[in-house]
A and B are shown apart, each in its own frame.
Chain A
Amino acid sequence: MKVIPITPLGHLAAGNCGEDSGEVPKLDLPLTRRNLLRGSGLLMGTLAAGSALSLLAPSRAWAVELKTLSSTEGTALMKMGRVLYPHSKLPDAVYALLVKDLDAGATSDAKTTALLRDGIASLDRASGGNFAKATAARQLAAVKSLEGTPFFAAVRGKCVTSLYDNDMAFAAFGYPGSSWEKGGYITRGFQDLKWLSEPSKEASPAPWMG
């Protein structure tokens, strides 16, 4: 299971102008010159207060540092993840995990970087300029137009593991994961369904309780 590393924003928060404003953020980040030249980015956000997910994290603020992709590219891929697998109950932090995993692939392989950059450019073209800012309908059409391409396959394939195999997704979908640490479900509701008639004792004998 992958857990998002939640970085307290602290000193970063003040300098967070975001890409949307068009201003170049001047962040006091420990970035090397080489990383800057490669266009590293940062994705950040805040988990909704009081949500089950915020209880999982040490801080409601989250940040994902990208090594190869830029913030703009990361944002586009996050949006693409939401078009592919739209879940209102999943916060952006989960979609940021997708970008984190794609970025890791890009960092270890230049071909992947090119695949992702070209794909994002195609998304922008298909949505009339800026995919991330396009309407939901245009975003959906743009993603659909790329179905069957290696870029689409790479992002969609990564979604399957990045979006659905982490603590936040488990909490959002109501899946508790491993149960043996709690003694399984033998005394914790494995047969607590009450909205249908009970099977006979022949069909389903009572559990052995010693």
Chain B
Amino acid sequence: MAKIDNNDDSVVVIIGSGAGGGTLAHELCTQGVKVVVLEAGAMQSQATYINDEWKSFSQLAWLDNRTTSGTWRIARDFPNLPSWICKTVGGTTTHWAGASLRLQEHEFKTRTHYGDIKGANLLDWPVTLKELEPYYAKAENKMGVTRTNGIPGLPGNNNFKVLHAGATKLGYREVHTGNMAINSEPRDDRGRCMQLGFCFQGCKSGAKWSTLYVEIPKAEATGNLDLRPESHVSRIEHNAAGKVNAVVYFDKNGKEQRQKARVVCVAGNSIETPRLLLLSATTQFPNGLANSSGQVGRNYMRHLTGTVYAAFKDPVHMYRGTTMAGIIRDESGHDTRRGFAGGYEMETLALGVPFMAAFLNPGGWGADFSWWMDRYTHLAGMWIVGEDMPRETNRVTLNMAVKDKWGNPVPNVHFDDHDNDIAMRNHAFKQGERVYQAAGAIRTFRTPPYPSTHNLGTCRMSASARDGVCNKWGQTHDISNLFISDGSQFTTGGAENPTLTIVSLAIRQAEYITRQMTEKAI
């Protein structure tokens, strides 16, 4: 690994080492660019991952204080845990389930296809599916996505069998074990999936793609990467010309450090990324960096989610094997006859007993709650993930009344469901219940959204500097050497799990940054 001097102002500094930051680091390093990665979390490994839900949560989750407001149920049930993302090297690619789906063509043009939906801040992406296709292909190859590049699909577990039986009985056609960045056979020096059942706690076999043990070691092998774990960035600085030139962070000893930079890429996930731009306000940029549009922190999306659990008279043992073991894609299109714009995916999901108790029905108690826990071995589960509407009022702001341990205001996450979200969720719940009823369920249960895992849109891409924070390359409209490199870039959310798109955008952004640096444009 390279050791880069704090005063070296020729480097690219990447904040965050997850799907966006970790991939970008690998791509840039491979192209000969010197990179410093500042990661707030600590280094773990397949050996140190803990396959115990609460202990793993303490080890990997981002638990820094946050506050919430709005009418979403999260604000009541988990007021200080709006999201379920990670603070560790590899970011949330340690916790993700592995679903790797491309966004659909129309999802890049929602303003065009969905029209002007009241209360929604819809906008077409400044990039099209056609432009992204070569990068999707590279990402799928890099991550080893099943059912691409000749890689077979994964074998379905019992939870998938239930989903499949119900779905096919109901007439759904696109039902299979998904496009997963989990090895179905050995590939890229990693073994095949052992069906451990703890995808969310870090894959101990390494079959699931994570930047921690795929992208980052490859970046280190180039000799161009200086990875600094336990480095919590507190602000980005700029010069009189309005270009960013340094990143200030607290190292693992709590000591303030300043790393100079030629280019800064922010990939801290959609809550910390806008927070950092807001925290970096100066007299020259009084509303925060790259915020001339006023859109930094706005249009926060979390995907429309929900879970349907079903109890059967025969055992399922849903906890055995991959957490997201299969998918129904038939509802993912845009068909307003259903009463809403956009679509949703249905994907199997399983929790262990400890998390089932915490998330089945937060706040719930009594004999009915116990009824479900008593039937744990006889339950099947599916997660609904659909497109939610971007709204200007759903936003990340600085809560000036609450400070973190470094004295900076914590982020507040405000969210209100749009009517379209509610209509879609109700439809999805109904269809999910019908799937399980077709498979013989004795009862079904609608579990509300978990703390958000898909946090998107808070520094969105736009063709015009008026409408968003960055351009089609993730380069901020206001500051040419400041980039957004995570899901915050998403103009709209699509129905698909976002990681593949984040990785594809990072590969594409790396090419652009290298080109711009070579041309001395930045």
Contacts and interface: CB of A to CB of B under 8 A. Distances in A.
Interface residues of A, number: 45
Interface string A177-207: 1111001111011111101111100111111
Interface stretch (B190-198, B453-461, B473-481, B496-504): B190-198
A180 B176 contact: no
A180 B197 CA distance: 9
A201 to B, nearest CB: 9
A62 B161 CA distance: 41
B184 interface: yes
Label chain A's interface by main secondary structure.
Answer: loop
B357 interface: yes
B22 interface: no
Contacts of A183: 194
A121 interface: no
A160 interface: yes
A164 B357 contact: yes
A178 B370 CA distance: 23
B186 to A, nearest CB: 8
Contacts of B161: 191, 193, 196, 198-199, 204
A58 interface: no
B353 interface: yes
A180 B319 contact: no
A176 B320 CA distance: 10
Contact of B377 (A174, A199, A202): A174
Contact of B158 (A1, A176, A192, A202): A192
A86 interface: yes
Contact of A185 (B152, B156, B321, B358): B321
A199 B366 CA distance: 37
B236 interface: no
A173 B374 contact: yes
A85 B195 contact: no
B406 interface: no
Interface hub of B51, B161, B165, B352 (most chain A Cβ within 10 A): B161
Contacts of A164: 353-354, 356-358, 373
Given A190-B158, A192-B158, A204 B153 contact: yes
B328 to A, nearest CB: 11
Interface hub of B176, B192, B316, B320 (most chain A Cβ within 10 A): B320
A78 to B, nearest CB: 15
Interface in B297-331: 314-317, 319-321, 326
A84 B193 CA distance: 39
Given A160-B358, A175-B319, A196-B439, A186 B193 contact: yes
Contacts of B165: 196-197, 199
Contacts of B157: 185, 190-191
A115 to B, nearest CB: 18
B62 interface: no
Interface string A37-79: 0000000000000000000000000000000000000000000
B377 A173 contact: yes
Nearest to A203: B176
B40 interface: no
Interface in A148-170: 156, 159-161, 163-165, 169-170
A125 interface: no
Contacts of B105: none
A202 to B, nearest CB: 7
A111 interface: no
A26 interface: no
Contacts of B366: 84-86
B52 interface: yes
A173 B351 CA distance: 13
A91 to B, nearest CB: 14
B367 A86 contact: yes
Given A165-B354, A179-B51, A180-B198, A203 B156 contact: yes
B376 interface: yes
Contact of B164 (A188, A199, A206): A199
A161 B326 contact: no
A202 B334 CA distance: 26
A197 B164 CA distance: 9
B370 A185 contact: no
Given A84-B365, A204-B164, A170 B353 contact: yes
Contacts of B54: 161, 165
Contacts of A185: 157, 194-197, 320-321
B195 A190 contact: yes
Contacts of B314: 193, 195
A183 to B, nearest CB: 6
Nearest to B313: A195
Nearest to B46: A180
A191 B196 contact: no
Contacts of A170: 353
A193 B162 contact: yes
B175 interface: yes
Nearest to A147: B365
A173 B376 contact: yes
A178 B176 contact: no
B195 A186 contact: yes
Interface of A: 1, 84-87, 89, 156, 159-161, 163-165, 169-170, 173-180, 183-186, 188-193, 195-199, 202-208
Interface of B: 51-55, 152-158, 160-162, 164-165, 168, 175-177, 184-186, 192-198, 204-205, 314-317, 319-321, 326, 352-354, 356-358, 363, 365-367, 369-370, 373-374, 376-377, 439-440
Given A178-B51, A203-B153, 10 more contacts: A164-B354, A174-B317, A180-B198, A180-B205, A185-B194, A190-B155, A193-B314, A199-B160, A203-B176, A204-B160
